[in-house]
Structure 1
Amino acid sequence: MDDASLLRLRRAALLLLVGAVLTLGGAFYFQWVLGYVPCKLCLTERLPYYAAIPLALAGLVLPPRLTRLALGLAALGLLYGAGLSVYHAGAEWSFWPGPSDCGGGAGANPAAIGDFLNALQTTRVADCSTAAWRLLGISLAGWNALVAFALAAISGTAALKP
């Protein structure tokens, strides 16, 4: 493998790493700083990024063949995430129903009935079929679909390009 091909693989791994970290950072900012409660689908949409970060880190140091494998696995996971985000955004637009068990932010199980009643009064539950925030008419789920697809394209193209 020539130096240009190795550099292309490392650059793709670095872009994947930066993109995944920034995306998760944005999600945590909305949750912890702005106070948006993530729904069940929002939390599930983060999983491909959690997997992409160590795969991207591995891609920065592994031999080229294993870097391609790491980038390919990340691309597959991110394509799953993009599909899940499209489903989520479609549920927000009422194109189809969202999951019937969707809610989030519940926290720990209280031990006593009094604690349970207090928890019910303070717990905020997010509905998967309601967009909490939009930019240019696109919800967070919609933006996540675009980001996940772009990162999947970058890592998948690098993994498959000879």
Structure 2
Amino acid sequence: MRTTLSSRVLVAGAGAGSAATLAGAFAFQYIGGMAPCALCLWQRWPHAAAVLIMVLALLVPNRWLMALGAVAALTTSGIAGFHMGVEYGWWQGLQSCSGGSIAGISMNDLLNPNAAVAAPVRCDEVPWSLFGLSMAGWNMVLSLGLTGVWIMAARRA
């Protein structure tokens, strides 16, 4: 007997996947003490959008909302892929996060040699990896999978 998942179940799963990915990112930040770089933060926004889209699509099932969820997941996957390439030196990153930006540091702290100023978090360093993939790499892979789930949901709607 063949069973197929409904579009509602797929939407819930895709949105829950984005929520879990966000929860993992916040756990690494607040429990693990790993401050995110600018590209890490950019990867979070499409996941947040996907969670919001999930809520809307569960309230008002709509193929276009599900397609928009796929776009959100694909967007974060693209940002993560770019970030992974920067981390592994395949291409240049943004100057603002790979060149040691001083954005957000006050002029007084810059001029005070005794001020405790945290070093900027660089986008071109791999702070954590598992099986050769950085966090950005895992986000790319997981988000591509979530894109597929959103597309399956849209096709079944």
* TM bucket, shorter chain: 0.7 to 0.9
Q: Which residue is 1:20 aligned to?
A: 18
Q: Deviations over 1:97-144 (max 9, x none)?
A: 11111169x89664x725874896332321111111001110000000
Do the aligned partners of residues 119 and 58 (structure 1) sit closer, same or farther apart at CA in structure 2, a change above 3 Å counting?
Answer: farther
Q: Which residue is 2:31 aligned to?
A: 33
In structure 1, which of residues 100, 113, 133 is the aligned counterpart of residue 108 of structure 2?
Answer: 113
SS at match of 2:116: helix
TM-score (structure 2 length as normaliser): 0.85
Matched residues, percent identical? 30
Aligned pairs, number: 154
Q: Mark the runs of 5 or more structure 1 residues left unpaired by the alignment.
A: none
Q: Which runs of 4 or more aligned residues in structure 1 lie more than 2 Å from their structure 2 counterparts after TM superposition?
A: 106-110, 114-122
In structure 2, which of residues 36, 39, 58 is the aligned counterpart of residue 60 of structure 1?
Answer: 58
Do the aligned partners of residues 154 and 118 (structure 1) sit closer, same or farther apart at CA in structure 2, a change above 3 Å counting?
Answer: farther
CA distance in 2, matches of 1:119, 1:148: 43
8 Å CA contact 1:37, 1:125 repeated in 2: no
5 Å-filtered alignment, 1:83-162, equals 83-102=78-97, 110=106, 113=108, 117=112, 121-161=116-156
CA distance in 1, matches of 2:132, 2:142: 16
Q: Mark the runs of 5 or more structure 2 residues left unpaired by the alignment.
A: none
8 Å CA contact 1:37, 1:124 repeated in 2: no
CA distance in 2, matches of 1:140, 1:133: 6
In structure 1, which of residues 34, 48, 51 is the aligned counterpart of residue 49 of structure 2?
Answer: 51
SS at match of 1:154: helix
